[in-house]
Amino acid sequence: MIESVIKCPCGSTDTHLSSVEVFSRADEAKTGLHAKISVESQPSSFTYDNEMDGNPSSRRSGIILHCWCEHHDPDDPDDKDDFDVYIQQHKGVLYTSLQLLSDDEVEVYGFPVVTP
Ligand SMILES: [Zn+2]
């Protein structure tokens, strides 16, 4: 088994998973199944609809891991502690990316998916 740690863009490994969204659809379909499970607060919640808004994949299915990091100032609106890990199917390739919720694109940190 290959394990790796998802790091916050600040470099910290003190990160938490708050919710997961899954978008499932046929190729380029306008609708599909969109499910969201909030995992951090208990009891956890589950919602679903048929909307594809927010799908990381422009053509197929995708997954978003909503995460947050312990090492940011909650009172500073410029110090974002939330970030997303995107997994998207595009043609025959699975891509991953990490994105701050401020929409600043950052490189992928510590999230190797390709097996040796
Ligand atoms: Zn951080």
Q: What is the pLDDT of residues 34-74, one digit of tens each?
A: 999 999 888 899 999 999 999 989 899 999 999 999 998 88
Does the pTM of the predicted model rise above 0.85?
no
Angle made by CA atoms 113, 101, 97, in degrees to the nearest 5: 15
Residue 100's identity, in one-letter code, is L
Least confident interval from 20-29, 80-89, 97-106: 97-106
The burial class, CB within 10 Å (0-12 / 13-18 / 19+), for 53 is: exposed
Task: Please answer whether residues 100 and 86 qualify as being in contact, where contact means their C-beta atoms are separated by less than 8 angstroms.
Answer: no
Q: How far apart are CA 54 and CA 100, in angstroms?
A: 14
> What separation in Å is there between the alpha carbon of 20 and the centre of ligand 1?
19
Closest CA to 98 of 75, 65, 72: 65
> What separation in Å is there between the alpha carbon of 56 and the centre of ligand 1?
22
Residues 6+ apart with CB under 8 A from 92: none
pLDDT digits (tens, 9 = 90+) for 7-35: 888 888 899 999 999 999 999 999 999 99
> What separation in Å is there between the alpha carbon of 106 and the centre of ligand 1?
13
Highest mean pLDDT among 18-32, 71-85, 89-103: 18-32
> What separation in Å is there between the alpha carbon of 83 and the centre of ligand 1?
9
Task: Give the distance from CA 55 to its chain's centroid.
Answer: 10
